[in-house]
Structure 1
Amino acid sequence: MTIEFSGRGDPARSLALLWRTSERASRKGRPELSVERIVRAAIEVADAEGLQALSMRRVAERLGVGTMSLYTYVPGKPELFDVMLDEVYGETARPDDVPGGWRGGLEQIARENWALYLRHPWLLQVAANRPVLGPNVTAKYEYELGAVDGIGLSDLEMDSVITLITGFVHGAARGAVEAAQAESLTGLTDEQWWAAHAPFLARIADTTRYPVASRVGQAAGQELQGAYSPEHAFEFGLERILDGIEALVAKRRTTSA
C-alpha cells in the first residue's frame, strides 16, 4: 500500500499555496486553469484510482492540458498534496449547536471524520504526523477542540481527547474500507465467503479444545451476520471511548470541587 507523508513540500511554497498568499498565475498561465481546479482534479484522481495513481501527469490528463501547464499554478506534487488534504478536511460539517453537550459534540465529530474517510479512502494512506498547516485543517482543529473546551480538562487533555477520537475513527474506517475492498476484489460478500468455507470449518472445528472461541465466535457471527462488522465496531468502540472520557471529566470535576 502506498503511504504518503504530508508536509514534504517546500514550507514557504506550501504555506503560500495553502493560504493563497502568492499570486495565482502569471500572464502565461492558461485562463481555464486555477489552483482550485487542479486541486479538485487531483482529489478526483485519488478518489477514483488511489494515491498510487496520483501524479502531475495524471492530473493534467484529467484536465485535458499539458503537464507543464500545471506548474504555473502549483510548484509540484508535494505542495499539491498538502492542498488536497486541506481541501478535503474542509468538508466536515461544523454546526454551532449540537445536542448532548460535549459528548454529543465528540460523537458528531467522530461521525463526520468517519464519513470523510469513506468518501476519500486515500486519506487512510496518509501519514499525517506532520500536519498540514492550512486554513481548513486549522479551522477543523479549532472546532473540534471547542467540543471539550470549558469542561474541566487541561489543554493537553483536550488535545489528547481529540487525538484519541480521531485516531480511533481512523482505525475503524480502515476496517470498513478494507472490508469493502475485499468484496470488490474477490467478488464475494462476507456471507458468500463464509458459506464457501463453512463445510471445511465444520470438519476442523474443535469445540472441546476451543470452547470459548467456538461459543463467542458463533454468537458474534449470528448477530453480525459475519465475522466482522465495521459499523458495529465503530459504534461499540465510540461508545466505550466516550464513556472513558466521561469518567475523566467526572474525575476532574471532583478534584476541582
Structure 2
Amino acid sequence: MVESSGSGDPARTIAMLWGTRQLPRRGPKHTLTTARVVAAAVELADADQDLAALSMRRVAEALGVGTMSLYTYVASREELVEAMLDKVYGEAVEQLGAPEDSGWEEGLRRVARVNWDLCMRHPWVLQVFTGRPPLGPHATAKYERELSVVEGIGLTDVEMDAVITLVHTHVEGVARRRVEADRVVRRTGITDEQWWREVEPFVAEVMDPARFPISARVGQAAGQAHQAAHNPEHAYTFGLDRLLKGVGALIEERSA
C-alpha cells in the first residue's frame, strides 16, 4: 500500500502542522491534543510496521475515545499521515544536529545514516510517496540542515537540491529492500543465510556454467560473500561510496 503526502487540503494541513489552526471554542471540553493523537498513530504504525492497518478508529481506540472526537484535532487520515511524517522528521533534525565543519563528504554520510536510521525505526515512512514534499516545520528544518552540508562548496542551488535528493533516493531504495527482506524473514521464520544454505545445492545442480558463465560465476561469488541473495548493508555502503565519488567529481568540475 502506497500513501502520498500532499493529499489533504493544503491550507488546512499546513495550519495543522504549524499549529496555527484554532480548535473550536464551543462544544465539549478538549481532552486531547493534536500531538497526542499523532503520537498514538506513530506508535501503532511502528508496531505494525505498516500503514495499511492504520485507521482513525484504531487511533481512537488506542486513546480511549470515540472516533469522531479525533476529527477535532486532525481533519482526515491524509492529514494524520502528514503529521506523523513531520513528527518522526523531528527525530532526524535532532540527529543531524547543528552544521559541522567536517566537510561535505562526511556531512552527506551523516545525512544518509540519519535517514537510514529513520527508515529502520519507522519502516512505514517508506510507504509514503513524497513527490509532493511534506511542508511541516520538522520537514522544513530537516531539509534546511541537510542543505547546509552542501552550502558554499561551489554547487548551484538546483544542484544542491539534486544532491540531497540523490542521497535520499539511494537510502530509501536500499532501505525498502531491507525492510521487505525483514518482512520475509518474519513471515517464513527463515533467515536469508538459512535460505541460502538450503537453496545453494539445488541451484548448483541446475545452473550450467557453460550456458550462463557470467551469472554463475558472479552469482556464486556474491552469494558466498553475503550468505544471501542480497545484502542491503553492502548495497548501502557500496552505493553511497560511488555516489559521493560522483558528487566530488561534480564539485571539481565546478571549481575548474
**CA deviation after TM superposition for structure 1 residue 98, in Å:** 3.9
What secondary structure sits across from 2:96 in the alignment?
Answer: coil
Q: Which amino acid aligns with 1:38?
A: V
What secondary structure sits across from 2:52 in the alignment?
Answer: helix
Please point out which of 122, 127, 130 is paired with 1:128.
Answer: 130
Q: Which amino acid aligns with 2:77?
A: K
2:11 corresponds in structure 1 to 12
Distance 2:173 2:148 in 1: 23
Distance 2:213 2:72 in 1: 66
Work out whether residues 90 and 142 of structure 2, in 8 Å CA contact, stay in contact via their aligned partners in 1.
yes
What secondary structure sits across from 2:126 in the alignment?
Answer: helix
2:82 corresponds in structure 1 to 82
Instruction: Tell me: CA distance 1:168–1:237, structure 2 relative to 1, closer, same or farther (3 Å).
Output: same
RMSD (Å) for aligned C-alpha atoms: 1.4
Distance 1:57 1:18 in 2: 21
Distance 1:148 1:174 in 2: 26
Q: Which amino acid aligns with 1:146?
A: S
Work out whether residues 107 and 149 of structure 2, in 8 Å CA contact, stay in contact via their aligned partners in 1.
yes
Distance 2:10 2:221 in 1: 53
Q: Which amino acid aligns with 2:191?
A: T
Work out whether residues 5 and 130 of structure 2, in 8 Å CA contact, stay in contact via their aligned partners in 1.
yes
Q: Which moved more, 1:83-92 or 1:94-103?
A: 94-103
2:59 corresponds in structure 1 to 59
Q: Which amino acid aligns with 2:88?
A: V
**CA deviation after TM superposition for structure 1 residue 175, in Å:** 1.1
Q: Which moved more, 1:97-106 or 1:43-52?
A: 97-106
**CA deviation after TM superposition for structure 1 residue 29, in Å:** 4.8
Work out whether residues 99 and 148 of structure 2, in 8 Å CA contact, stay in contact via their aligned partners in 1.
no
Unaligned regions of 5+ residues in structure 2, if any?
none
1:36 corresponds in structure 2 to 35
2:251 corresponds in structure 1 to 249
1:174 corresponds in structure 2 to 176
1:156 corresponds in structure 2 to 158
**CA deviation after TM superposition for structure 1 residue 37, in Å:** 0.5
Distance 1:160 1:218 in 2: 36
- Give the TM-score, by structure 2 length: 0.94
Unaligned regions of 5+ residues in structure 1, if any?
none
What secondary structure sits across from 1:160 in the alignment?
Answer: helix
Distance 1:121 1:187 in 2: 19
Q: Which amino acid aligns with 2:65?
A: V
Distance 2:243 2:56 in 1: 41
Work out whether residues 24 and 35 of structure 1, in 8 Å CA contact, stay in contact via their aligned partners in 2.
no
**CA deviation after TM superposition for structure 1 residue 58, in Å:** 0.8
Distance 1:200 1:26 in 2: 70
**CA deviation after TM superposition for structure 1 residue 127, in Å:** 1.0
Distance 2:228 2:87 in 1: 36
Work out whether residues 30 and 69 of structure 1, in 8 Å CA contact, stay in contact via their aligned partners in 2.
no
Distance 2:104 2:27 in 1: 51
Is 1:102 the counterpart of 2:104? The answer is yes
Work out whether residues 120 and 179 of structure 2, in 8 Å CA contact, stay in contact via their aligned partners in 1.
yes
Deviations 1:75-113 (A, max 9, x none): 121111111111111111122254640011000000000
1:200 corresponds in structure 2 to 202
Q: Which moved more, 1:27-36 or 1:74-83?
A: 27-36
Work out whether residues 38 and 83 of structure 2, in 8 Å CA contact, stay in contact via their aligned partners in 1.
yes
Distance 1:26 1:181 in 2: 46
Deviations 1:140-195 (A, max 9, x none): 11111110010000111111101101111110100110111111111111122122
Deviations 1:217-244 (A, max 9, x none): 2222222122211000001100000010
State percent identity of aligned pairs. 55
Instruction: Tell me: CA distance 1:58–1:30, structure 2 relative to 1, closer, same or farther (3 Å).
Output: farther
Instruction: Tell me: CA distance 1:178–1:30, structure 2 relative to 1, closer, same or farther (3 Å).
Output: farther
